[in-house]
Structure 1
Amino acid sequence: MSSNSPKTKTDVEDPVEDNVPPNASEPSGSLGSRIRDQLDVDSIRRYLALKLGFYDLTEPSAPVEKVLDEVTFDGVVKWIKGNRCKNIITLAGAGISTSAGIPDFRSPVSGLYHNLQKYNLPEPQAIFEINFFCQNPKPFFMLAKELFPGNFKPTISHYFIRLLHEKGLLLRHYTQNIDTLERGAGIAEDKIVEAHGTFFTSHCLECRKEYSVEFMKEKIFSDQIPICTDCPGVVKPDIVFFGESLPARFQHCVQMDFQKCDMLIIMGSSLEVQPFASLVDMVPDWCPRLLINREKAGQRFFLLRACGLISGNSPGGLQLDDESVRDVARLGDCDDGCQDLADRLGWGDELRALVAAEHARLESEGNLTSPHGPLPSSPPPAMPAEKL
């Protein structure tokens, strides 16, 4: 079955973007469930027994060796400058695109889900549910006209990721976003994993015939529901809906990449969607993890950790407290955080010049009128001495 074929609700692995309905189920054996299963069930029993007063915790937790010399933002900068940092993975959510004018999903007033009343949906998330789409695709295509890629410039955050690539440090960029701004920023296509799919290709839900972005754009902006030319099927962009599997490329790259990672940077994600959120647990125990986000995120099972029932390096999300040995949070807007990181690495002026030049190029070439297309693959420069 194709990665975008309709499935039952029990097949849900991940939704579009950075949200998930509270009743969404996850298939047994999926990436997210496999990661969470690593959490010792006995630890949960011990935690509950402790809280209920059945016994006192007498076993001391094993000390965890500190990864960073300083578990601070400056400590991360020192790590990236050091010789051990050669393969950085970036994980991105909607927060890296909000400064481009694209709404995130969760904000109480400006978020996408808060502003869907006009579509008369049974619930906001229904607009991205494959079963609802098959019954009534019109609301999605009305919304797609507003969200369709184009007319947006990549942000400082996107260009920082490109700069990581140009410095020879980017192993892979995993994005939850469907806005194609990574492509527009000039990040090499082989470095991008669009975990929640893309608008750039579309397929008929019945016969699986592929359609171009130009076909989809013409239909959407003509207020038509795209219908296959070979059968009566509806043509849907290859973005991942609730009820669909993640792209095969995501599964393939995850297996290759994460044990090689020696620095993980998470940007603008609430880390609440599975299995994407559990990618933070796939890196080695000695790999530092930096969160650049408006608020702390990804702190699953923090009560168990606080009671010493799981170690700081056990699967269960980020550890963003005084006991952290490798996890650092830089709170604030993603663009500010990326520019701050570039400044401290000595790349600040280079990043500013890159953003200015690329924005001017996009405007002069008229490349903001259509989605950002595929880019040629390009290997990172073999110049490790020039990474600083």
Structure 2
Amino acid sequence: MPSLSSDSSKTSLTPSVPLTPPTTLKKRTTRDVLSNESPLAPKLLLHDLLKNDKLLTPASSPQKKKIKQSSPLIKRKKPRRTTIHRPIANSVLSLECYPLIKPKEQPHNNYLRHILNTCENIVVVAGAGISTHAGIPDFRSKQTGLYSKEKFNKSLMDINMIYSNESMTLKFNELMVSLYLKSIHAETTPFHQLLDKLAKQKRLKRIYTQNIDSLETKLPHLMEYNDNNNSTNYPILVQLHGNISNTRCNKCNNIQKFDPHRLKTTENPKGDLIASCLECEELEYVRSVAGLRSKGVGSIRPTITLYNEVHQDGDTIANIINYDTKLKSIDLLIIVGTMLSIPHVKKLCQNMAHSLKNGRRKKGHVIFISNEPPTQSVLNAFKDTLDLIVIGDCQTLYNYID
């Protein structure tokens, strides 16, 4: 028998089915394979079908790459936010100097703008410095403060001194009438508008004000937010020292609108040195007609809290302070327009600042804004809890809020 050559053996073993399917072979999709007519359906696994919808692809017709075309309906990814690093404790930003510095060299300015626009629960402790722009003088400024003038001094705000003699009472009346007239005619400042904008955005949790001018009550969004705040029974606006808009009777506690014509001053000599309560007088008249004994008539004065005097709403204010100090959602404390010379206001800011930096709320921010740098006693009280000390006019901060 003749032997087969190696070439002939290879030829005889070569299959008759071509290795490459013809180009006319119809492509079978997943739907065809899974149909009952396809004999391959029981042998295919689900994950194999999901990987590639085309089971057979002719070698002569390679797959075309899909080119992604940009469409205006596709939502593009937002650019990554620039990370704002927290400054070193007690860092200083001068609002008067930063415009001369290049934007890339203003990390503290960018940090201030960032927290004012991103923090959601803000507490503000404000002093007289936010109202001087409206023409209402503060008390302790060296040149423009009321205590710097010879006519007025600190004793005029002491309950034990203002009624000690007629001269002191007359000066107290003139001071109250002057502040009242300036307050009712004053317009809100840009910083007050900043507070109103924060209230409109519902990011202002509380404002503790030392001012008695009641300019905050002229802010529409703040008052609307104050009245419609149903989350707690506490108001948004807390007047730590009362206000000069009303008067209170020391006997019946009746509150009425301040009437400057009732008080005796150098310009109004016909007024009363110590005005009596009209409510008490009417009650006394009714009792006299009824033949009942007299209970006396009280005297009125503005609803402000003086030195050596207990605050009428002191218990309520203490409850609000305790509530805010323990609240974990507060993320920013702004101390503005005050040098914290009054001990209980200083203690309020100190406790709240330490609360923001301790426990679970270490991410809270504390900034101090004033025309003058804080005293060493204030720095010692806050230790390292002040993130930023802003020196300059607080009215310029209105443009920081978007």
Pick the aligned partner of 1:109 from 143, 148, 154.
143
CA distance in 1, matches of 2:197, 2:303: 28
Identify the residue that residue 237 of structure 1 maps to in structure 2: 302
Given that 2:248 and 2:300 are in contact with CA atoms closer than 8 Å, whether structure 1 keeps it comes out as yes
Q: CA RMSD of the aligned region, Å?
A: 2.4
CA distance in 2, matches of 1:294, 1:327: 17
Given that 1:199 and 1:238 are in contact with CA atoms closer than 8 Å, whether structure 2 keeps it comes out as yes
1:174 aligns with 2:208: yes
Structure 2: stretches of 5+ with no match in the other structure: 1-83, 89-107, 227-234, 281-295
1:219 aligns with 2:258: no
CA distance in 1, matches of 2:138, 2:187: 16
Alignment of 1:265-276 (within 5 A): 265-276=334-345
CA distance in 1, matches of 2:122, 2:342: 22
CA distance in 1, matches of 2:204, 2:178: 32
CA deviation map 1:199-222 (0-9, x unaligned): 2332222x13313114x3331385
Q: Give the residue type in structure 1 aligned to 2:245.
A: F
Q: What displacement does 1:327 show?
A: 1.7
SS at structure 1 position matched to 2:185: coil
Q: Give the residue type in structure 2 aligned to 1:329.
A: I
Identify the residue that residue 377 of structure 2 maps to in structure 1: 300
Given that 1:277 and 1:298 are in contact with CA atoms closer than 8 Å, whether structure 2 keeps it comes out as no
CA deviation map 1:37-73 (0-9, x unaligned): xxxxxxxxxxxxxxxxxxxxxxxxxxxxxx9534534
Pick the aligned partner of 2:368 from 286, 291, 302.
291
CA deviation map 1:141-191 (0-9, x unaligned): 111111113111111111111111111110000000000001112322431
SS at structure 2 position matched to 1:270: coil
Q: What displacement does 1:74 show?
A: 2.2
Alignment of 1:24-39 (within 5 A): none
Q: What displacement does 1:91 show?
A: 0.7
CA distance in 2, matches of 1:298, 1:183: 31
Q: Give the residue type in structure 2 aligned to 1:130.
A: I
Given that 2:87 and 2:388 are in contact with CA atoms closer than 8 Å, whether structure 1 keeps it comes out as no
Q: Give the residue type in structure 1 aligned to 2:391.
A: L
Identify the residue that residue 36 of structure 1 maps to in structure 2: none
1:69 aligns with 2:93: no
Q: What displacement does 1:326 show?
A: 4.9
Length, aligned pairs only: 250
Identify the residue that residue 173 of structure 2 maps to in structure 1: 141
Q: Give the residue type in structure 1 aligned to 2:154.
A: Q
SS at structure 2 position matched to 1:245: coil
Identify the residue that residue 244 of structure 2 maps to in structure 1: 199
Q: What displacement does 1:107 show?
A: 1.8
SS at structure 2 position matched to 1:182: helix
Pick the aligned partner of 1:277 from 332, 346, 368.
346
User: Structure 1's 160 and 232: CA in aligned 2 closer, same or farther, altered over 3 A?
Assistant: same
Identify the residue that residue 57 of structure 2 maps to in structure 1: none
CA deviation map 1:248-303 (0-9, x unaligned): 3321210111333210011110111111112222222122111121012265375x
Given that 2:213 and 2:245 are in contact with CA atoms closer than 8 Å, whether structure 1 keeps it comes out as no
Q: Give the residue type in structure 2 aligned to 1:217.
A: P
- Please, what TM-score do these two structures have when normalized by structure 1? 0.59
Structure 1: stretches of 5+ with no match in the other structure: 1-66, 306-315, 348-388
User: Structure 1's 298 and 91: CA in aligned 2 closer, same or farther, altered over 3 A?
Assistant: farther
Q: What displacement does 1:132 show?
A: 1.2
User: Structure 1's 299 and 183: CA in aligned 2 closer, same or farther, altered over 3 A?
Assistant: farther
Q: Give the residue type in structure 2 aligned to 1:138.
A: L
CA distance in 2, matches of 1:289, 1:70: 11
CA distance in 1, matches of 2:334, 2:202: 15
CA distance in 2, matches of 1:325, 1:109: 31
Larger Rg, first or second structure (1 or 2): 2
Pick the aligned partner of 2:126 from 57, 67, 92.
92
CA deviation map 1:352-372 (0-9, x unaligned): xxxxxxxxxxxxxxxxxxxxx
Given that 2:86 and 2:387 are in contact with CA atoms closer than 8 Å, whether structure 1 keeps it comes out as no
Q: Give the residue type in structure 2 aligned to 1:250.
A: I
Given that 2:367 and 2:387 are in contact with CA atoms closer than 8 Å, whether structure 1 keeps it comes out as yes
CA distance in 2, matches of 1:179, 1:259: 29
Q: What displacement does 1:79 show?
A: 3.3
User: Structure 1's 301 and 133: CA in aligned 2 closer, same or farther, altered over 3 A?
Assistant: closer
- Please, what TM-score do these two structures have when normalized by structure 2? 0.57
Q: Give the residue type in structure 2 aligned to 1:111.
A: G
CA distance in 1, matches of 2:248, 2:378: 40
Given that 1:271 and 1:277 are in contact with CA atoms closer than 8 Å, whether structure 2 keeps it comes out as yes
User: Structure 1's 139 and 161: CA in aligned 2 closer, same or farther, altered over 3 A?
Assistant: same
Identify the residue that residue 262 of structure 1 maps to in structure 2: 331
User: Structure 1's 191 and 99: CA in aligned 2 closer, same or farther, altered over 3 A?
Assistant: same
CA distance in 2, matches of 1:103, 1:262: 31
The percentage of counterpart residues that share the same residue type is 26
